[in-house]
A and B are shown apart, each in its own frame.
Chain A
């Protein structure tokens, strides 16, 4: 089974979306009152969600760059042989 690039991109975007949700959850759910010092749960969610978002976006960029380079290499190789 081969995963197309768009499926890999979709997976990375889902992880990034989950990370963004975890970051905004304290405010969205309401357990972090506005203007108040952060509670422990907020610290945890912002750090963990931010980490997941950054890693997911980095993997997304690397997947796109790596696949594009491989395709360009394959195209140049087939062009050189034609």
Chain B
């Protein structure tokens, strides 16, 4: 009697390997830091005051400005590339679905709104019923009893 080798048997408990997300996420973080540093370097000569106003740029201003501009551009490129990479990896891991969320389903059609004629009919229905009852009792609406020989009521059986 032979038992299957457990080291060879397929293991259902092993989670599926996801693409590495850490590198892409850290790329985004690094790009943001670089852009912040680049922006600060652009502003620093004026913010810290070592670039006199209305004067030619000093050496520190040139150095900081061009280094900051380069960092800003490089950071923007890396930010775009890393964001695209991160989104692709998240999509591959199933954290992001490609389909956009479906618009909310339209509400099921209820009974149609009563039209003005229906509303009027429903208002008049009790009145019609009352008039019908009066007619059944054989009385006119002013209380007089109608008789078969009443000429005002030609429909009454005689």
Contact = CB atoms under 8 A, between A and B. Distances in A.
Interface residues of B, number: 46
Nearest to B89: A2
Query: How would you classify the secondary structure of chain A's contact residues: helix, strand, loop or mixed?
Result: helix
A18 B89 CA distance: 28
Interface string A46-82: 0010011001100100110011011101101110111
Nearest to B7: A80
B26 A66 contact: yes
Given A21-B67, A39-B50, A41-B45, A51 B78 contact: no
Contact of B20 (A55, A71, A76): A71
Instruction: Name the residue in A1, A15, A74 with the highest tally of chain B Cβ atoms < 10 Å from its Cβ.
Output: A15
Contacts of A67: 20, 22-23
A48 B85 contact: no
A1 B48 contact: no
Interface residues of A, number: 46
A11 B27 contact: yes
Chain A to chain B: the 7 pairs with minimum beta-carbon distance, closest first: A66-B22, A74-B17, A41-B60, A70-B20, A63-B23, A31-B59, A3-B85
Given A22-B64, A55-B33, A80-B14, 14 more contacts: A2-B85, A3-B27, A8-B82, A18-B74, A41-B64, A44-B44, A44-B48, A67-B22, A70-B17, A70-B19, A70-B22, A73-B17, A77-B14, A77-B17
7 contacts: A2-B19, A18-B34, A39-B60, A41-B60, A44-B44, A48-B44, A59-B26
